[in-house]
Structure 1
Amino acid sequence: MIILIPAYEPDARLVALVTELSQAAPETHVLVVDDGSGEAYSAVFDAVRTLGAEVIGHEVNLGKGYSLKVGFRHILTRYPGAAVVCADSDGQHRVRDILRVADRVALHAGRPDAPVVLGGRRFTGQVPMRSRVGNTLARQAFRFTTARSIRDTQTGLRGYPATLLEGLLGVYGDRFEYELNTLLEASAAGRPIDEIDIETVYLQDNASSHFRPVADSLRVMRPLLVYGAVSFGSFLVDLLALQIFVAATGSLGLGVVAARMVSASVNFMLNRSLVFTTAQPRRLRREAAAYAGLAVSLLAASYVGLTLFTQLGLPLLAAKLATDVILYLVSFQVQRRVVFARSRPQPSLSVPTVTRPVGCASGAGSPPARA
């Protein structure tokens, strides 16, 4: 088991964390990734290196998600087969909770359906407003998108079985949005997510956190926001086309078909280029065929819904709204899981002019002990 700690401009709390880890679990290997903190913080990294931690990193700040990927790639290369527990460097995670997550990961080791393990905070007591707002936004967005309820989608305390590490390299995002995206990917793949209660710790009103409530919450939710905007725009196109074609033909069935063909073409191209970002010419035909199948299915469902609601006495506009709201989440999930599913793996993360090892503990090249 390897404890992976991304660190940007850390202070003595990182040293205290590594000290306590080395005392509580001396057999566990600690890997720290310096996310471009600069020379002013070299003493902190020297201190944890002296304590036995391995330190790697890059010269400029590239984000938490990028640093986690650098750590995963290093572990895959140097310590194949090791499971990983990720923890934050700012003292928010108690060592006993880190080890509880490690124990839960080890409990499921070797299972093909081994879960992602989260250390979830309950956000009780005096929680800083920016932390409460950021986590609430992310939690509700995740529930809306996946229909799965996770209390703490932004926790940095996470355990990953060894079999997931290569896939984690291909998850989109280099900053705080990366951690939400890993959960979205796990949910889309049907991977179990095991959440255990941990202590909620905020030191000095969470002043050391680099999470920006507005900017980073928007970054975290960007795919959902863009998907919503594209869907709304496609809905307006579909609604306008429906009114035009029904008025022109006098047939609800023909109007639904013609309007959906127009709006589906717009929706496909915008989702492909803006939401799921899989614009690869060699995959265009496969994606178009899969989307066409989805569109036909949604068309049939839309016609059934419109017929049902209009027969119940709803006007056409109200029936259209009710039907499309129901189909909205279904369409997102099918597009994420099937139509625009990412190719695996995507391990290339190197930035040769920037990323470099900044040192390692003596003996770091030997395989770490397994939990």
Structure 2
Amino acid sequence: MEKKAAVIIPALNPDEKLVNTVKDVRKIWNGPVVIVDDGSDMQTRGFFQQAEQMNCTVLRHCVNLGKGRALKTAFNYCINTWPNILGCVTADADGQHTAQDIFRCVCALEENPKSLVLGCRDFEREEIPTRSKWGNKVTCMVMRLLCGVNVSDTQTGLRAVPLEFMKKLMNVTGERYEFETNMLLETQAQKVPLREIAIETIYIEENRRSHFRPLIDSVRIYALFLKFIFASLSSSVVDIALFSALVWTLKPFVIEGYIFAATVLARIASALFNYIVNSKAVFQKEMGRKTMLKYFALCIVQMCMSGLLVSAFYRLLPYSEVTVKICVDVLLFFISFQVQKRWIFS
């Protein structure tokens, strides 16, 4: 086939909105449309059959495996069936995405064949459900502050994905909604540019048919952040406990520099603990000489900054050494996350 995109629609227990979306798409788009039946109930099989009658390919999971797995199934099919495909446009089956916006994403991919294009909604509109509005705001803030990914709609299912990025995404973790967040994070690792286009904001029945589960899926989405915070907090406990013990031990005997000495000794022990936890549990990278050297270079810089800043602020502020250290290390925590994600464990 000529180099064009495929439209991918993952679906779980769809209704007539899936059929209406396909009808509208077929009025303006004659390219491939791939629908993934992600373990839907038998009574919804008729909607998929209607889609097949409109020249759509339907792939089936015998059980529900999640949106992330459904997208990977479709990616694999498209790459194997059309090796020279330009990429794909993913859309939802619940009627939130118009055929015009889907086609606009196809055109945007043709204009930006190496970029991940996001169809972004306007979350300032009054009719946006509260859970969607605040869920998106919180996720956008977390993505921007902790990961440096600056997008206005992290939860959009309307995305244009270029071919080479599709191949990379086949090995990205995430079987359910967390896959879409991991996709955004992966743009940094693969240096894939991000583009946004404004789309129509549609919420039918206040999005009651959405299969997104705010509590469960949010935990999955924030898993990377939560693991990093847990690793850092546990390392901080080791660090501060040792620092406190060393300050208590050294202060009577060392007139000058006891804070800096306590910082150095405590940081060596906590840094080794933190490196092992981050490489194995958080970023899931093999421990090697290069990453270890980078990590300990960061630790040396961070240790020096901590010691110097704590010493300086302790003289200026009416607080104990431990209190000042906690405040300084919270600031250094955010800086450390960015450095580790982008440079050490990227």
| TM-score under structure 2 length normalisation | 0.89
How far off its partner does 1:91 sit? 0.4
Q: Percent identity?
A: 35
Q: Find the counterpart in structure 2 of residue 115 from structure 1.
A: 115
Residue-by-residue CA offset, 1:232-254 (whole Å, 9 max, x unaligned): 22112211111222332342222
Inter-CA distance 300–66: structure 2 relative to 1 (3 Å threshold): same
Q: Find the counterpart in structure 1 of residue 110 from structure 2.
A: 106
Distance in 1 between residues matched to 2:137 and 2:219, nearest whole Å: 12
1:159 aligns with 2:160: yes
How far off its partner does 1:108 sit? 1.6
Q: Find the counterpart in structure 1 of residue 308 from structure 2.
A: 304
Contact 1:36–1:61 at 8 Å: present in 2 too? yes
Q: Find the counterpart in structure 2 of residue 96 from structure 1.
A: 100
How far off its partner does 1:189 sit? 4.4
Match of 2:16 among 12, 23, 45: 12
How far off its partner does 1:321 sit? 2.9
Q: Which amino acid aligns with 2:160?
A: G
Residue-by-residue CA offset, 1:178-209 (whole Å, 9 max, x unaligned): 11111112134443211221111111111110
How far off its partner does 1:259 sit? 0.8
Q: Find the counterpart in structure 1 of residue 53 from structure 2.
A: 50
Residue-by-residue CA offset, 1:106-134 (whole Å, 9 max, x unaligned): 1022xxxx321111111212122232233
SS in 1 for 2:239: helix
How far off its partner does 1:85 sit? 0.8
1:201 aligns with 2:198: no
Distance in 1 between residues matched to 2:289 and 2:70, nearest whole Å: 35
Residue-by-residue CA offset, 1:49-79 (whole Å, 9 max, x unaligned): 1101111121111100111111112222111
Q: Which amino acid aligns with 1:8?
A: L
SS in 2 for 1:23: helix
Q: Find the counterpart in structure 2 of residue 131 from structure 1.
A: 132
Q: Which amino acid aligns with 1:275?
A: V
Contact 1:188–1:333 at 8 Å: present in 2 too? no
Inter-CA distance 47–215: structure 2 relative to 1 (3 Å threshold): same
SS in 2 for 1:319: helix
Contact 1:33–1:57 at 8 Å: present in 2 too? yes
Query: Which is further off, 98-107 or 331-340?
Result: 331-340
Which ranges of structure 2 fall in alignment gaps of 5 or more residues? none
Contact 1:13–1:91 at 8 Å: present in 2 too? yes
Distance in 1 between residues matched to 2:294 and 2:41, nearest whole Å: 48
Inter-CA distance 235–242: structure 2 relative to 1 (3 Å threshold): same
The structure whose RCO (Cα within 8 Å, separation 6+) is larger is 1
How far off its partner does 1:174 sit? 0.6
1:33 aligns with 2:36: yes
Alignment of 1:137-216 (within 5 A): 137-216=138-217
1:234 aligns with 2:235: yes
Inter-CA distance 148–337: structure 2 relative to 1 (3 Å threshold): closer
Distance in 2 between residues matched to 1:76 and 1:306, nearest whole Å: 55
Q: Find the counterpart in structure 1 of residue 72 from structure 2.
A: 69
Contact 1:45–1:55 at 8 Å: present in 2 too? yes
How far off its partner does 1:318 sit? 4.0
Inter-CA distance 305–148: structure 2 relative to 1 (3 Å threshold): farther
Inter-CA distance 107–34: structure 2 relative to 1 (3 Å threshold): same
Inter-CA distance 187–314: structure 2 relative to 1 (3 Å threshold): farther
Q: Find the counterpart in structure 1 of residue 296 from structure 2.
A: 292
Distance in 2 between residues matched to 1:46 and 1:182, nearest whole Å: 30
Inter-CA distance 293–73: structure 2 relative to 1 (3 Å threshold): farther
Contact 2:260–2:311 at 8 Å: present in 1 too? no
Q: Find the counterpart in structure 2 of residue 362 from structure 1.
A: none
SS in 2 for 1:37: coil
SS in 2 for 1:302: helix
Contact 1:38–1:59 at 8 Å: present in 2 too? no
Distance in 2 between residues matched to 1:194 and 1:314, nearest whole Å: 49
SS in 1 for 2:48: helix
SS in 1 for 2:89: strand
How far off its partner does 1:172 sit? 1.6
Q: Which amino acid aligns with 2:119?
A: G
Residue-by-residue CA offset, 1:85-115 (whole Å, 9 max, x unaligned): 1111110011111111221111022xxxx32
Question: Number of residues paired by the alignment?
Answer: 333
Contact 2:149–2:184 at 8 Å: present in 1 too? no
